[in-house]
Amino acid sequence: MPIKGIVFDKDGTLFDFQATWGAWSRGMIESESGGDPELRERIAGVLGYDLGANRFRPDSIVIASTTETVAEHLLPLLPGTGKAELMDRMNARATGAPQVEAAPLAALLGRLEGMGLRLGVATNDTEAPARSHLRAAGVEDRFAFVAGFDSGWGGKPEAGQLMAFAEAVGLDPADCAMVGDSLHDLHAARAAGMVAVGVLTGVAGRDVLEPEAAVVLDSIAELPDWIASQP
């Protein structure tokens, strides 16, 4: 069946992961460590963040994790800090983080809409920052469905968000594609019965994604031509 709907991951898919979050995360680490160099190194180590390169390592826990999961890993290093308090700080910082588009989004999404496709976003970020990022890029209204891990359908690699997208737009999951940069995204696609499409604008390499994907693209810029080529 031809693809009729696309649900996108956000970080590493719509927005280039390292370009968006690499340098910004250094500021978060500095803030949470309070200038303590030993604590800074420990926080970076837990997050899988290379302080010299200002980039996340491929094995970072941050990749595809929810805000709650990241906070739970950090809490042992921050005695006296509650999880809700830490998550609030993380979400507040994330809301204002400048996003680097993986491809010119307005033009790309307009082209996909012109092909008759219904569009959605399923992210392991929380919904409010996700909507803020889409709004800042001028594309929030292009999506018929936006879900974070806190929106009521769980997070990836479970299929709840993807099934909710299909229901919201009135499509069979088999007629939809999930586009993402991580194994969490591709496993969610398979669990939902959607076509799994990998992109290389996150941290995972082609060798990691290809065994789980129908196709791996350099970026979402290649998506319209790939969809048009499908029988």
Upstream peptide bond of 157 is cis (omega within 30 degrees of 0): yes
Interacting residues of 102 by C-beta distance below 8 A, sequence separation 6+: 12, 13, 14, 15, 16, 199, 201, 219, 220, 221
Structure tokens at 29: 């680490």
Q: For the segment 118-169, what is each residue's pLDDT rounded down to a tens digit? A: 999 999 999 999 999 999 999 999 999 999 999 999 999 999 999 999 999 9
Q: For the segment 27-60, what is each residue's pLDDT rounded down to a tens digit? A: 999 999 999 999 999 999 999 999 999 999 988 8
Q: DSSP letter string over the chain?
A: ----EEEE-TBTTTB-HHHHHHHHHHHHHHHHHTT-HHHHHHHHHHHTEETTTTEE-TT-TTTT--HHHHHHHHGGGSTT--HHHHHHHHHHHHHTPPP-BSS-HHHHHHHHHHTT-EEEEE-SS-HHHHHHHHHHTT-GGG-SEEE-TTSSS--TTSSHHHHHHHHHHT--GGGEEEEESSHHHHHHHHHHTPEEEEESSSS--HHHHGGG-SEEESSGGGHHHHHHH--
Q: For the segment 63-111, what is each residue's pLDDT rounded down to a tens digit? A: 778 889 999 999 999 999 999 999 999 988 888 888 999 999 999 999 9
Domains in the chain with CATH codes: 5-16+101-229 (3.40.50.1000), 20-95 (no CATH)
Interacting residues of 149 by C-beta distance below 8 A, sequence separation 6+: 66, 67, 68, 123, 124, 125, 126, 155
What is the pTM for the complete model shown? 0.89
